[in-house]
Amino acid sequence: EGFVLPAAIDRHVGVALRLRRDARIALRSDRYQASVEFDALPTRRQGNWADYVIGVTREIDQRYDPGPGFDAFVASDIPVGSGLSSSGALDVANAVAMLAARGIEMPAVETARLCQAAENGFVGAHTGIMDPFTALTARGGNAILLDCRSMRDEHVPLPDGRFAWLLADSRVRHELALTAYNERRRECEAAATVLGLPSLRDAREADLPRI
């Protein structure tokens, strides 16, 4: 529920999607040779990249009537596991493609919440709203000052010409659902509970000795 200041970079995920007349699902990616296919929308995690597509689709089905099967192809130039939110971008790309295919209009904030729910629920990563919201609303040359409690946002121009932004791929794999991220999240929630606060956002420096 705190404040964040994210910005987008010049990397993308695209999803080409078409609905089927049956319940079958066929997924392909330019990252992997083998396709992933199901007779119907799975109810359990598969342990691979398809979980992000499945999770978002399940969230849409829960909010509306269950949809038909579909074919989807994913193309991406975002390094996987590098901390650049490739999973969040995939969530958003699939959500936008699926909503458009089914003729559903959804505000950006609600789409971001849907993607967050897919990560928190089906995928099992207790992520926040920042990544999907940024993927949906970012503008070139700007960062986004986002209040994750009220969801008020403001585009903040980045310095132009005076600074160069450098992202280095350390090759250390990063996957929130399989790391200590969820544990850190639980520890922060427990600390807020000890302090009697809804969020650590509300804590003051004087509260630190009580944790």
Residues with a known catalytic role: 131
Backbone angles phi, psi at 30, to 5 degrees: -75, -5
Evaluated on CA atoms 85, 180, 4, 58, the torsion sign reads: positive
